[in-house]
Amino acid sequence: MPMLKTVVTRMVEAIGISVTVVLGANAAESVAQLAHSPASICINRGWKEGMASSIRAGVRHLPASCSGVMIALADQAAVTVEDLGRLASTWRRQPLSIVAARYGRVVGAPAIFPRSTFGELAALRGDRGARAVILRHPDRVAHVPMARAAIDIDTPEDLSAARHSSGA
C-alpha cells in the first residue's frame, strides 16, 4: 500500500473520520490513492513554498468548531495507530497543551495543537513545519515517546533502509 494511503488509513483508524489530507505536488495521483478513504482532501496550490503552506491550507480547512488539530506527515509511515492513539489520548487529558511526539532529542510531528495556536500555525512561512510553534511554547508541550516517528522516508533509499531494518 502506498505510504500516503497507509498513513491516512492509520489516522482515520486512530481519530475517526475528521481527517483532512493536504496535498500539493502530484495531487491528482494522490487523490486517486485515497478514493475510498473517508478523509477529506484539501489541495494546496502553493505547495512550492514548502511545508508551511500546507499547514496554512490545512488550518484554513478546519471547521469553526475545531478545538485541536493533529499534524502528521506522510513520510513518517512507521508511526502506528497505537502511537497516534496515545497522542490523541494525551491531548484529551490536556486539551490546552500542545502534545507532540518525542524521538531522540527531537520533539515534533506527529503533534496536536490546540485552537489557541491556530493563528501561529496560519502565520508560518517557507519550508518550515510546526516545530517552530512547539519550540516557542516549551512550557505548554506534553511529550509522547514515539521512536517510530524518527523514521522519515523521503527517498527510495530511505524506504529500502526502513524495509531492511524492519526485516520486511
pLDDT digits (tens, 9 = 90+) for 86-137: 999 999 999 999 999 999 999 999 999 999 999 999 999 998 899 999 999 9
Q: What is the pLDDT of residues 134-155, one digit of tens each?
A: 999 999 999 999 999 998 766 5
Residue with cell 486517486: 32
Distance CA 41, CA 46 (A): 15
pLDDT above 60: residue 3: yes
pLDDT value, residue 152: 78
Judging by beta carbons within 10 Å of its beta carbon (0-12, 13-18, 19+), is residue 163 exposed, middle or buried? Answer: exposed
Q: What is the pLDDT of residue 1?
A: 47
Number of independent structural domains in the chain: 1
**For position 144, which CATH number holds?**
3.90.550.10
Q: Is pLDDT at 160 greater than 70 in this prediction?
A: no
| DSSP for residue 35 | T
| Coil vs helix vs strand at 143 | strand
Give the mean pLDDT of 44-55: 93
Q: What is the mean pLDDT of the chain?
A: 88
Q: pTM score, two decimals? A: 0.88
The whole domain housing 40 covers 3-166
Cα-based distances in Å from 152 to 63, 77, 80, 157, 158:
29, 8, 14, 11, 7
